[in-house]
């Protein structure tokens, strides 16, 4: 489901500039994979926040996914496994930043993994 929402926006945001710049198909696919992982990370963190946060911090009602019986990473995997998956994605993405000049990407990854709203 994340691919149809925020994940699609994030993937497009990192892939489109690469396409416009004339990147190779390999480079475009790498950016698409990066966007997919960032989108998945964003969604898992959103699902975790829906369970652990509060309305004041989050800026929206919490627990809504459970009340609406939505399938989320937390409902499917459990809270601890969702957190483990989030950490795995964070580590995978940090492996992509082992090149000089990737400071901005590292900052984005940290934000997505640790945001509180």
pLDDT score at 83: 97
Domain containing 75 equals: 2-114
- Confidence (pLDDT) at 94: 84
DSSP for the chain?
A: -GGGTHHHHHHHHHHHHHHHTT--HHHHHHHHHHHHHHHHHHHHHHHHHHHH--HHHHSS-SSHHHHTT---HHHHH-HHHHHHHHHHHHHHHHHTT-STT-HHHHHHHHHHHH---
Q: 25: domain CATH number?
A: 1.10.600.10
Amino acid 69: pLDDT: 85
- Please give the tally of structural domains in the chain: 1
Q: What is the pLDDT of residue 100?
A: 56
Which pTM does this prediction carry? 0.82
- Give pLDDT, residue 60: 83
Across the 117 residues of the chain, what is the mean pLDDT of every consecutive 10-residue run?
74 93 92 92 93 86 85 93 96 77 77 85
pLDDT, position 78: 95
């Amino acid at each position: 489901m994340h691919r149809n929402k925020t994940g699609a926006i994030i993937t497009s945001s990192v892939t489109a500039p690469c396409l416009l710049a004339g990147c190779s198909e390999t480079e475009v696919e790498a950016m698409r994979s990066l966007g997919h992982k960032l989108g998945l990370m964003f969604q898992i963190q959103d699902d975790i926040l829906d369970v652990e946060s509060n309305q004041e911090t989050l800026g929206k009602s919490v627990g809504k996914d459970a009340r609406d019986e939505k399938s989320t990473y937390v409902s499917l995997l459990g809270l601890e496994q969702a957190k483990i998956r989030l950490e795995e994605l964070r580590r995978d993405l940090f492996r992509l930043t082992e090149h000089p000049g990737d400071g901005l990407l590292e900052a984005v990854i940290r934000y997505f993994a640790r945001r509180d709203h």
